[in-house]
Amino acid sequence: MLDSKKVKLGIAPIAWTNDDLPDLGGENTFEQCVSEMALAGFTGSEVGNKYPRDPEILGEALRLRGVEICNAWFSTFLISRPYEETEKSFEEHIAFLAKMGAKVVGVSEQSYSTQGIQRQPVFEGRHVMNDVEWRRLCDGLNRLGKLSVEKYGIALTFHHHMGTVVQSAAEVERMMRDTDPAYVSLLFDTGHFAYCGEDPLAMVQKYADRIKHVHLKDIRPEIVSRVKEEGMSFLDGVRAGAFTIPGDGCIDFVPIFKVLEESGYEGYMVVEAEQDPDKANPLKYAMMARKFISEKTGL
């Protein structure tokens, strides 16, 4: 069983309102979202597009519900733009997170990403970095991570993601090998590893000591197969229901939880399963996920 003194549970607002597909959950308010998170038994939240950006307003709304901010996505463009551009917006982002009390920031390299291109098949046309781009990415991550932890006390965790330049196990391994463990950690996402055909258990076993944030996400393999066969985009896959909550898909989470337990993982585990809220009621699925995690981890 995982230690409740070390591990907290959060949920992402993407189940209520989707940042990349704003029509999904467009009717759901920020207040409904965070109220239902609390009602389902979660204490942590990531930041969605409807969240107030004023730390005092956001903080008061969260305190009323016993919820805190644990992370917020940040897009880097380290291989396609000058480093200074990324650093400026990054520091503004982590300054906000520091005011909210977060301990990690989730970073994804979005140069040449296909994840948001509506007509681009997610399994085709992905950019492959050359050695120069790899050095630029890893050096940039080290610099951002050093700034983040030394100035703000926030750990940089890298989010591997479908359609980006760091998606596969081999790409994650190279990124981890070529970055400094003092400044760059892994945001371990079960769903994205499974989606691209990698084994999430093998990856958590390999990098347990460098994981500082966890996204718990399951996949529906029949939908992922359809996405691949029909040349669907990442966003079309989301609409079709490729992702779901832990316990509702094909991933065996028990051994993954066991590895995290044995490694002494400390931090948040966040349910992050983007679905169409008209098809998957956010509160219902949040409660299902919370029950599953409780049964399997004791949290």
What's the pLDDT tens digit per position in 12-55? 999 999 999 999 999 999 999 999 999 999 999 999 999 999 99
Residue 6: pLDDT band with limits 50, 70, 90 = very high
For residue 209 the two structure tokens come to 């000591």
What is the average per-residue pLDDT within 223-249?
Answer: 98
pLDDT of 104 = 98
Mean pLDDT value of segment 136-154: 98
The whole model's pTM is what? 0.97
Name the 3-class secondary structure at 197.
Answer: coil
Give the mean model confidence (pLDDT) for residues 103-120. Answer: 97
Across 113-150, b (16+ Cβ under 10 Å) vs e yields bbbeeeebbbbeebeebeeebbebbbebbbbbbebbbe
Tell me which H or E stretch contains 107: strand 104-109
CA 59 – CA 55 distance, rounded (Å): 6
192 vs 209: CA distance, rounded Å: 20
Question: Which tokens go with 271?
Answer: 């349910």
Instruction: For residue 265, give both structure tokens.
Output: 């993982």
Q: Cα–Cα distance between 231 and 125 in angstroms, integer?
A: 11
Sign of CA dihedral 168, 216, 181, 85: positive
Q: What is the DSSP letter of 9?
A: E
Burial of 282 per CB tally in 10 Å (0-12, 13-18, 19+): buried
d(CA 236, CA 124): 14
- pLDDT score at 150: 98
C-alpha neighbours within 13 Å on the C-beta side of residue 127: 18
Give the pLDDT band (50/70/90) at residue 59. Answer: very high
Q: Which two tokens stand for residue 270?
A: 């966040």
Q: Where are the beta strands (DSSP E) in 190-262?
A: 211-216, 218-219, 243-244
